[in-house]
Amino acid sequence: MPQSPFIDIKDLSVGYTSRSGKTIPVLRDVNLSITRGDSIGLVGESGSGKSTLALAAMGYFKRGLHVISGQVQFDGIDMLDIERNALQRLRGGRLALIPQNSGQSLTPNLRIGQQISEALRLHSDLPATGFDAGVIDLLSQVRLPDPVGLTDRYPHELSGGQQQRVAIAMALASNPEALLLDEPTTGLDVTTQAHIMELLRDLAKDRNLAMLYVSHDLGAIARVCNKVMVMYAGETVLTGSAKQVLLSPRHPYAHGLLASIPRLNEASLPQALDGRPPMPSETITGCAFADRCKLADQTCHSSLPPLDHLDSGEAVRCFHHDQIGQLNRKPEKSARSNPVAADKDSALSLANLAVSYSRPGLLFKAVCTARHPAKHR
Ligand SMILES: Nc1ncnc2c1ncn2[C@@H]1O[C@H](COP(=O)(O)OP(=O)(O)O)[C@@H](O)[C@H]1O
Ligand code: SF4
Ligand SMILES: [Mg+2]
Protein backbone atom coordinates (compact mmCIF):
# COMPACT_ATOMS: atom_id res chain seq x y z
CA MET A 1 0.00 0.00 0.00
CA PRO A 2 1.45 3.44 -0.89
CA GLN A 3 2.44 5.48 2.16
CA SER A 4 0.73 8.82 2.72
CA PRO A 5 3.07 11.78 2.21
CA PHE A 6 4.83 13.06 5.28
CA ILE A 7 5.69 16.39 3.73
CA ASP A 8 2.97 17.42 1.31
CA ILE A 9 3.21 20.66 -0.63
CA LYS A 10 0.36 21.37 -3.02
CA ASP A 11 0.17 24.01 -5.77
CA LEU A 12 2.40 26.33 -3.78
CA SER A 13 3.10 29.78 -5.17
CA VAL A 14 5.32 32.16 -3.19
CA GLY A 15 6.28 35.69 -4.15
CA TYR A 16 7.20 39.19 -3.11
CA THR A 17 5.63 42.57 -3.66
CA SER A 18 7.57 44.83 -6.00
CA ARG A 19 8.03 48.56 -5.39
CA SER A 20 5.19 49.23 -7.82
CA GLY A 21 2.93 46.97 -5.73
CA LYS A 22 2.94 44.04 -8.16
CA THR A 23 3.15 40.46 -6.85
CA ILE A 24 6.23 38.77 -8.31
CA PRO A 25 6.21 34.98 -7.97
CA VAL A 26 9.44 33.16 -7.14
CA LEU A 27 7.72 29.76 -6.83
CA ARG A 28 4.85 28.87 -9.15
CA ASP A 29 2.36 26.07 -8.47
CA VAL A 30 4.92 23.69 -7.03
CA ASN A 31 3.89 20.24 -5.77
CA LEU A 32 6.15 18.07 -3.65
CA SER A 33 5.35 14.95 -1.65
CA ILE A 34 7.88 13.15 0.53
CA THR A 35 7.05 9.94 2.35
CA ARG A 36 9.18 8.37 5.08
CA GLY A 37 12.12 6.54 3.56
CA ASP A 38 12.18 8.89 0.57
CA SER A 39 15.26 11.00 -0.16
CA ILE A 40 14.34 13.61 -2.71
CA GLY A 41 17.03 15.64 -4.42
CA LEU A 42 16.05 19.14 -5.43
CA VAL A 43 18.25 20.51 -8.21
CA GLY A 44 18.44 23.62 -10.31
CA GLU A 45 20.64 26.62 -10.92
CA SER A 46 21.01 29.36 -8.37
CA GLY A 47 17.81 31.37 -8.06
CA SER A 48 15.50 28.58 -9.22
CA GLY A 49 13.63 28.55 -5.89
CA LYS A 50 15.19 25.52 -4.16
CA SER A 51 15.80 27.17 -0.79
CA THR A 52 12.43 28.90 -0.84
CA LEU A 53 10.74 25.52 -1.34
CA ALA A 54 12.83 23.75 1.32
CA LEU A 55 12.08 26.48 3.86
CA ALA A 56 8.40 26.40 2.88
CA ALA A 57 8.35 22.75 3.97
CA MET A 58 9.03 24.08 7.49
CA GLY A 59 6.38 26.75 7.14
CA TYR A 60 9.13 29.38 6.93
CA PHE A 61 9.34 32.17 4.36
CA LYS A 62 12.20 34.62 4.15
CA ARG A 63 11.47 38.23 5.00
CA GLY A 64 9.73 39.86 2.06
CA LEU A 65 8.29 36.62 0.70
CA HIS A 66 4.68 35.54 1.17
CA VAL A 67 2.42 32.67 0.15
CA ILE A 68 0.34 33.56 -2.88
CA SER A 69 -1.60 30.30 -2.90
CA GLY A 70 -1.28 26.62 -2.06
CA GLN A 71 -0.88 24.32 0.93
CA VAL A 72 1.98 22.99 3.03
CA GLN A 73 1.34 20.02 5.31
CA PHE A 74 3.67 18.08 7.59
CA ASP A 75 2.22 14.76 8.75
CA GLY A 76 -1.27 16.17 8.21
CA ILE A 77 -0.52 19.43 10.08
CA ASP A 78 -1.27 22.62 8.16
CA MET A 79 2.06 24.46 8.33
CA LEU A 80 0.55 27.67 6.98
CA ASP A 81 -2.07 27.86 9.70
CA ILE A 82 -0.43 26.50 12.81
CA GLU A 83 -0.09 28.20 16.15
CA ARG A 84 3.33 29.83 16.56
CA ASN A 85 4.51 27.83 19.59
CA ALA A 86 3.49 24.54 18.00
CA LEU A 87 5.38 25.52 14.85
CA GLN A 88 8.50 26.30 16.90
CA ARG A 89 8.26 22.89 18.58
CA LEU A 90 8.06 21.15 15.21
CA ARG A 91 11.04 23.03 13.80
CA GLY A 92 14.18 21.65 15.32
CA GLY A 93 12.00 18.84 16.70
CA ARG A 94 10.28 16.41 14.34
CA LEU A 95 11.49 18.47 11.40
CA ALA A 96 15.12 19.54 11.23
CA LEU A 97 16.88 21.86 8.81
CA ILE A 98 20.58 21.82 8.00
CA PRO A 99 21.19 25.06 6.13
CA GLN A 100 24.12 25.90 3.88
CA ASN A 101 27.39 26.32 5.83
CA SER A 102 25.67 25.29 9.06
CA GLY A 103 29.03 24.06 10.35
CA GLN A 104 30.29 27.63 10.22
CA SER A 105 27.36 28.91 12.26
CA LEU A 106 28.30 27.02 15.42
CA THR A 107 28.71 29.35 18.40
CA PRO A 108 32.44 30.18 18.40
CA ASN A 109 32.91 30.58 22.15
CA LEU A 110 31.06 27.45 23.26
CA ARG A 111 32.68 24.02 23.42
CA ILE A 112 31.23 21.35 21.13
CA GLY A 113 29.88 19.35 24.08
CA GLN A 114 28.05 22.38 25.48
CA GLN A 115 26.46 23.18 22.11
CA ILE A 116 25.15 19.67 21.58
CA SER A 117 23.97 19.47 25.21
CA GLU A 118 21.98 22.63 24.60
CA ALA A 119 20.37 21.06 21.52
CA LEU A 120 19.47 18.00 23.63
CA ARG A 121 18.05 20.22 26.39
CA LEU A 122 15.89 22.14 23.92
CA HIS A 123 14.78 19.38 21.61
CA SER A 124 14.97 15.98 23.31
CA ASP A 125 13.21 14.16 26.15
CA LEU A 126 16.50 13.19 27.79
CA PRO A 127 16.92 14.11 31.48
CA ALA A 128 19.87 16.39 32.24
CA THR A 129 21.78 13.42 33.66
CA GLY A 130 21.72 11.80 30.21
CA PHE A 131 23.15 14.75 28.26
CA ASP A 132 26.82 13.72 28.48
CA ALA A 133 26.13 10.23 27.16
CA GLY A 134 23.72 11.71 24.58
CA VAL A 135 26.42 14.05 23.26
CA ILE A 136 28.92 11.18 22.87
CA ASP A 137 26.27 9.06 21.17
CA LEU A 138 25.44 11.82 18.65
CA LEU A 139 29.10 12.52 17.88
CA SER A 140 29.61 8.79 17.31
CA GLN A 141 26.56 8.60 15.03
CA VAL A 142 28.04 11.26 12.76
CA ARG A 143 31.26 9.24 12.77
CA LEU A 144 33.52 11.82 14.35
CA PRO A 145 36.75 10.39 15.71
CA ASP A 146 37.42 10.59 19.46
CA PRO A 147 33.95 11.85 20.47
CA VAL A 148 34.97 12.23 24.13
CA GLY A 149 37.98 14.41 23.28
CA LEU A 150 35.89 16.47 20.87
CA THR A 151 33.40 17.60 23.50
CA ASP A 152 36.06 19.90 25.02
CA ARG A 153 37.05 21.53 21.74
CA TYR A 154 35.89 24.83 20.30
CA PRO A 155 34.52 25.01 16.73
CA HIS A 156 37.65 26.73 15.37
CA GLU A 157 39.67 23.68 16.47
CA LEU A 158 37.73 21.51 14.00
CA SER A 159 38.01 21.17 10.22
CA GLY A 160 35.14 22.32 7.98
CA GLY A 161 33.97 18.74 7.51
CA GLN A 162 34.07 18.06 11.25
CA GLN A 163 32.11 21.26 11.94
CA GLN A 164 29.49 20.17 9.43
CA ARG A 165 29.21 16.78 11.17
CA VAL A 166 28.69 18.57 14.50
CA ALA A 167 25.90 20.61 12.88
CA ILE A 168 24.32 17.36 11.66
CA ALA A 169 24.69 15.87 15.16
CA MET A 170 22.86 18.88 16.60
CA ALA A 171 20.07 18.49 14.04
CA LEU A 172 19.75 14.82 15.06
CA ALA A 173 19.47 15.72 18.77
CA SER A 174 15.70 15.95 18.47
CA ASN A 175 15.45 12.56 16.77
CA PRO A 176 13.79 14.18 13.74
CA GLU A 177 11.51 12.33 11.36
CA ALA A 178 12.21 14.65 8.46
CA LEU A 179 15.48 16.27 7.46
CA LEU A 180 15.79 19.24 5.13
CA LEU A 181 19.30 19.84 3.84
CA ASP A 182 20.16 22.96 1.89
CA GLU A 183 23.48 22.53 0.04
CA PRO A 184 24.96 20.72 3.07
CA THR A 185 28.35 20.03 1.52
CA THR A 186 29.02 23.31 -0.30
CA GLY A 187 32.46 24.68 0.53
CA LEU A 188 33.88 21.32 1.64
CA ASP A 189 36.60 19.47 -0.23
CA VAL A 190 35.46 16.59 -2.42
CA THR A 191 36.63 13.81 -0.14
CA THR A 192 34.87 15.34 2.87
CA GLN A 193 31.78 15.93 0.73
CA ALA A 194 31.76 12.26 -0.18
CA HIS A 195 32.03 11.23 3.50
CA ILE A 196 29.18 13.57 4.54
CA MET A 197 26.96 12.34 1.69
CA GLU A 198 27.60 8.75 2.67
CA LEU A 199 26.74 9.60 6.27
CA LEU A 200 23.50 11.34 5.28
CA ARG A 201 22.45 8.48 3.03
CA ASP A 202 23.02 5.97 5.84
CA LEU A 203 21.25 8.12 8.44
CA ALA A 204 18.22 8.54 6.17
CA LYS A 205 18.05 4.80 5.64
CA ASP A 206 18.66 3.75 9.26
CA ARG A 207 16.16 6.24 10.66
CA ASN A 208 13.62 5.92 7.83
CA LEU A 209 13.65 9.69 7.42
CA ALA A 210 11.75 11.79 4.93
CA MET A 211 14.63 13.73 3.42
CA LEU A 212 14.84 16.70 1.10
CA TYR A 213 18.34 17.32 -0.21
CA VAL A 214 18.85 20.63 -1.99
CA SER A 215 21.86 20.88 -4.24
CA HIS A 216 23.03 22.26 -7.56
CA ASP A 217 25.35 19.24 -7.73
CA LEU A 218 23.81 16.31 -9.60
CA GLY A 219 26.67 14.06 -8.52
CA ALA A 220 25.75 14.65 -4.87
CA ILE A 221 22.09 13.97 -5.59
CA ALA A 222 23.00 10.69 -7.31
CA ARG A 223 24.84 9.50 -4.19
CA VAL A 224 22.18 10.37 -1.66
CA CYS A 225 18.71 10.42 -3.23
CA ASN A 226 16.26 7.93 -4.68
CA LYS A 227 14.07 10.57 -6.35
CA VAL A 228 14.86 13.86 -8.03
CA MET A 229 12.96 17.04 -8.74
CA VAL A 230 14.45 19.58 -11.15
CA MET A 231 13.41 23.21 -10.80
CA TYR A 232 13.80 26.05 -13.25
CA ALA A 233 12.76 29.67 -12.69
CA GLY A 234 10.49 28.79 -9.78
CA GLU A 235 8.76 25.88 -11.50
CA THR A 236 9.05 22.11 -11.44
CA VAL A 237 10.25 21.00 -14.87
CA LEU A 238 11.03 17.33 -14.21
CA THR A 239 10.48 14.73 -11.51
CA GLY A 240 11.33 11.05 -11.50
CA SER A 241 13.44 8.41 -9.87
CA ALA A 242 17.12 9.29 -9.50
CA LYS A 243 17.86 6.67 -12.14
CA GLN A 244 15.39 8.12 -14.64
CA VAL A 245 16.44 11.73 -14.18
CA LEU A 246 20.18 11.16 -13.99
CA LEU A 247 20.53 8.49 -16.66
CA SER A 248 17.98 9.61 -19.25
CA PRO A 249 16.62 13.06 -18.40
CA ARG A 250 13.43 13.83 -20.33
CA HIS A 251 13.70 17.61 -20.07
CA PRO A 252 16.15 19.73 -22.12
CA TYR A 253 17.16 21.73 -19.04
CA ALA A 254 17.99 18.61 -17.00
CA HIS A 255 19.76 17.27 -20.07
CA GLY A 256 21.83 20.45 -20.20
CA LEU A 257 22.65 20.28 -16.48
CA LEU A 258 23.94 16.74 -16.88
CA ALA A 259 25.92 17.58 -20.01
CA SER A 260 27.65 20.38 -18.11
CA ILE A 261 29.19 17.98 -15.58
CA PRO A 262 32.88 17.28 -16.31
CA ARG A 263 33.51 13.57 -16.98
CA LEU A 264 36.88 12.03 -16.35
CA ASN A 265 36.51 9.43 -19.09
CA GLU A 266 35.88 12.02 -21.83
CA ALA A 267 38.60 14.13 -23.44
CA SER A 268 36.21 16.93 -24.39
CA LEU A 269 35.19 19.72 -22.06
CA PRO A 270 31.63 19.59 -20.73
CA GLN A 271 29.03 21.56 -22.69
CA ALA A 272 28.19 24.62 -20.59
CA LEU A 273 24.55 25.72 -20.59
CA ASP A 274 24.44 29.00 -22.50
CA GLY A 275 22.46 31.97 -21.25
CA ARG A 276 20.85 32.49 -17.86
CA PRO A 277 17.49 31.80 -16.26
CA PRO A 278 14.95 34.64 -16.31
CA MET A 279 14.66 36.80 -13.18
CA PRO A 280 11.35 36.47 -11.28
CA SER A 281 10.41 40.02 -12.36
CA GLU A 282 10.82 39.27 -16.09
CA THR A 283 7.61 38.56 -17.98
CA ILE A 284 7.53 35.04 -19.38
CA THR A 285 5.03 34.40 -22.15
CA GLY A 286 5.88 30.77 -22.94
CA CYS A 287 8.27 28.17 -21.58
CA ALA A 288 10.72 29.78 -19.14
CA PHE A 289 13.57 27.78 -20.67
CA ALA A 290 12.79 28.69 -24.31
CA ASP A 291 15.62 31.23 -24.76
CA ARG A 292 18.21 28.58 -23.86
CA CYS A 293 16.62 25.52 -25.39
CA LYS A 294 17.87 23.87 -28.56
CA LEU A 295 14.47 22.28 -29.16
CA ALA A 296 12.46 25.49 -28.78
CA ASP A 297 9.97 26.40 -31.51
CA GLN A 298 7.27 29.04 -31.89
CA THR A 299 4.86 27.21 -29.56
CA CYS A 300 7.47 27.14 -26.81
CA HIS A 301 7.86 30.91 -27.00
CA SER A 302 4.14 31.62 -26.87
CA SER A 303 2.56 28.94 -24.65
CA LEU A 304 3.36 27.66 -21.18
CA PRO A 305 3.97 23.89 -21.28
CA PRO A 306 1.95 21.93 -18.70
CA LEU A 307 3.58 19.41 -16.35
CA ASP A 308 2.75 16.10 -18.05
CA HIS A 309 2.56 12.98 -15.89
CA LEU A 310 3.97 10.08 -17.90
CA ASP A 311 3.22 6.37 -17.53
CA SER A 312 6.85 5.85 -16.48
CA GLY A 313 6.12 7.79 -13.27
CA GLU A 314 8.07 10.85 -14.43
CA ALA A 315 6.49 14.28 -14.72
CA VAL A 316 7.91 16.62 -17.37
CA ARG A 317 7.12 20.18 -18.37
CA CYS A 318 8.06 20.21 -22.04
CA PHE A 319 6.10 20.18 -25.31
CA HIS A 320 8.83 18.20 -27.03
CA HIS A 321 10.09 15.72 -24.44
CA ASP A 322 9.67 12.94 -26.99
CA GLN A 323 12.38 14.65 -29.10
CA ILE A 324 14.97 14.69 -26.33
CA GLY A 325 17.07 12.12 -28.24
CA GLN A 326 18.04 14.91 -30.67
CA LEU A 327 20.09 16.51 -27.90
CA ASN A 328 22.23 13.41 -27.52
CA ARG A 329 24.10 14.00 -30.77
CA LYS A 330 27.73 14.72 -29.98
CA PRO A 331 28.91 18.22 -30.88
CA GLU A 332 31.57 18.42 -33.57
CA LYS A 333 35.08 18.30 -32.16
CA SER A 334 36.69 21.69 -31.91
CA ALA A 335 40.05 22.86 -30.58
CA ARG A 336 38.19 23.49 -27.31
CA SER A 337 37.26 19.85 -27.10
CA ASN A 338 40.88 18.82 -26.66
CA PRO A 339 42.37 21.51 -24.45
CA VAL A 340 45.73 19.81 -24.03
CA ALA A 341 46.42 19.45 -27.73
CA ALA A 342 45.06 22.93 -28.47
CA ASP A 343 47.95 24.83 -26.95
CA LYS A 344 51.33 23.29 -27.66
CA ASP A 345 53.23 26.13 -25.96
CA SER A 346 51.38 25.87 -22.68
CA ALA A 347 53.53 26.04 -19.57
CA LEU A 348 51.55 23.33 -17.87
CA SER A 349 49.62 20.58 -19.54
CA LEU A 350 47.81 17.63 -18.08
CA ALA A 351 46.69 14.68 -20.12
CA ASN A 352 44.56 11.71 -19.18
CA LEU A 353 44.52 12.75 -15.54
CA ALA A 354 42.09 10.80 -13.41
CA VAL A 355 41.32 11.53 -9.78
CA SER A 356 38.85 9.48 -7.85
CA TYR A 357 37.60 8.96 -4.37
CA SER A 358 36.48 5.63 -3.11
CA ARG A 359 35.95 4.15 0.30
CA PRO A 360 38.77 1.68 0.93
CA GLY A 361 37.47 -1.84 1.05
CA LEU A 362 38.52 -4.37 3.64
CA LEU A 363 41.13 -5.80 1.28
CA PHE A 364 42.72 -2.37 0.72
CA LYS A 365 42.81 -1.73 4.47
CA ALA A 366 44.34 -5.12 5.12
CA VAL A 367 47.12 -4.47 2.57
CA CYS A 368 47.85 -0.99 3.95
CA THR A 369 47.89 -2.21 7.53
CA ALA A 370 50.34 -4.94 6.61
CA ARG A 371 52.63 -2.44 4.83
CA HIS A 372 52.31 0.52 7.22
CA PRO A 373 51.08 -0.83 10.56
CA ALA A 374 51.75 2.44 12.43
CA LYS A 375 49.54 4.51 10.10
CA HIS A 376 46.56 2.23 10.30
CA ARG A 377 46.24 1.49 13.98
N1 LIG B 1 13.40 37.60 0.60
C2 LIG B 1 13.31 37.67 -0.71
N3 LIG B 1 12.71 38.72 -1.34
C4 LIG B 1 12.61 38.78 -2.67
N5 LIG B 1 13.08 37.84 -3.53
C6 LIG B 1 13.68 36.79 -2.95
C7 LIG B 1 13.84 36.64 -1.55
N8 LIG B 1 14.48 35.49 -1.30
C9 LIG B 1 14.73 34.94 -2.51
N10 LIG B 1 14.24 35.71 -3.50
C11 LIG B 1 14.32 35.43 -4.93
O12 LIG B 1 13.64 34.20 -5.14
C13 LIG B 1 14.29 33.44 -6.13
C14 LIG B 1 14.57 32.05 -5.59
O15 LIG B 1 15.51 32.16 -4.53
P16 LIG B 1 16.07 30.86 -3.77
O17 LIG B 1 14.91 30.05 -3.31
O18 LIG B 1 17.01 31.34 -2.73
O19 LIG B 1 16.82 30.11 -4.95
P20 LIG B 1 17.92 28.94 -4.91
O21 LIG B 1 17.94 28.37 -3.52
O22 LIG B 1 17.46 27.97 -5.92
O23 LIG B 1 19.21 29.57 -5.28
C24 LIG B 1 15.54 34.20 -6.53
O25 LIG B 1 15.30 34.90 -7.72
C26 LIG B 1 15.73 35.17 -5.39
O27 LIG B 1 16.34 36.35 -5.84
S1 SF4 C 1 8.77 23.38 -23.95
FE2 SF4 C 1 10.07 23.94 -25.68
S3 SF4 C 1 11.50 25.48 -24.88
FE4 SF4 C 1 10.56 24.45 -23.14
S5 SF4 C 1 12.00 22.86 -22.61
FE6 SF4 C 1 10.49 21.95 -24.01
S7 SF4 C 1 11.34 22.18 -26.06
FE8 SF4 C 1 12.50 23.50 -24.72
MG1 LIG D 1 19.54 28.27 -2.17
Which of the listed residues 319, 323, 324, 327 should we mutate to test ligand 2's pocket, taking the one with most ligand atoms within 8 A of CB? 319
Q: How far apart are CA 204 and CA 198, in angstroms?
A: 10
More confident residue, 143 or 333: 143
Question: Which residues, including other chains, have CB under 8 Å from residue 228's CB and lie 6 or more apart?
Answer: 40, 41, 42, 43, 221, 238, 239, 240, 241, 242, 245, 246
More confident residue, 314 or 342: 314
Residue 131 domain flag: no
pLDDT band at 273 (very low <50, low <70, confident <90, very high): confident
Residue 111 domain flag: no
pLDDT band at 269 (very low <50, low <70, confident <90, very high): low
Residue 269 domain flag: yes
Q: How far apart are CA 190 and CA 356, in angstroms?
A: 10
Q: What is the DSSP letter of 318?
A: -
Residue 315 domain flag: yes
Tell whether ligand 1 has an atom less than 6 A from the beta carbon of residue 46. Answer: yes
Residue 236 domain flag: yes
Q: How far apart are CA 116 and CA 320, in angstroms?
A: 51
* Closest to 120 (Cα-Cα) out of 130, 110, 112, 111: 130
CB burial of residue 284 (10 Å; 0-12, 13-18, 19+): middle
pLDDT band at 209 (very low <50, low <70, confident <90, very high): very high
Residue 138 domain flag: no
More confident residue, 172 or 375: 172
The model's pLDDT over 45-86, given as tens digits with 9 standing for 90+, comes to 999 999 999 999 999 999 999 999 999 999 999 999 999 999
Q: Give the strand pairing for 77-78 and 65-74.
A: antiparallel
What pLDDT, on a 0 to 100 scale, did the predictor assign at position 343?
56
What's the whole-number average pLDDT of the chain?
A: 87
Domain count, the chain: 1
Whose CA is closest to atom 16 on ligand 1?
49
Contact 111, 154 (CB under 8 A): yes
Tell whether ligand 1 has an atom less than 6 A from the beta carbon of residue 232. Answer: no
Residue 112 domain flag: no
**pLDDT (average), residues 15-37:** 96
**pLDDT (average), residues 284-289:** 94
**pLDDT (average), residues 10-26:** 97
Contact 45, 235 (CB under 8 A): no
Identity of the amino acid at 323: Q
Q: What interhelical angle do 160-172 and 190-206 show, nearest 10?
A: 10
Which residues does a 6 A CB cutoff place in the pocket of ligand 2? 252, 287, 289-290, 293, 295-296, 300, 305, 318-320
Contact 60, 13 (CB under 8 A): no
Q: What percent of the chain has pLDDT over 70?
A: 86
What pLDDT, on a 0 to 100 scale, did the predictor assign at position 365?
47
pLDDT of residue 372 exceeding 60: no
pLDDT of residue 362 exceeding 50: no
Q: Give the strand pairing for 39-43 and 210-214.
A: parallel
Tell me how far the alpha carbon of residue 193 is from its chain's centroid. 12
Ligand 3 center to residue 50 CA distance, Å?
6
pLDDT of residue 336 exceeding 50: no
Ligand 1 center to residue 52 CA distance, Å?
6
The CATH number of residue 313's host domain is 3.40.50.300
Q: Considering only CA atoms, give the Rg of the chain.
A: 23
Which range, of 95-109, 140-154, 158-172, 360-374, averages the lowest pLDDT? 360-374
Residue 144 domain flag: no
Residue 205 host element (H or E): helix 190-206
How many angstroms separate the first and last alpha carbons of the chain?
A: 48
Phi and psi of 67, rounded to 5°?
-80, 125
pLDDT of residue 360 exceeding 80: no
Q: How far apart are CA 281 and CA 357, in angstroms?
A: 42
**pLDDT (average), residues 102-131:** 92
What pLDDT, on a 0 to 100 scale, did the predictor assign at position 363?
38
User: Which range of residues forms the domain containing residue 67?
Assistant: 1-94+176-341+350-377
Tell whether ligand 1 has an atom less than 6 A from the beta carbon of residue 290. Answer: no
Ligand 2 center to residue 312 CA distance, Å?
20
Whose CA is closest to atom 6 on ligand 2?
318
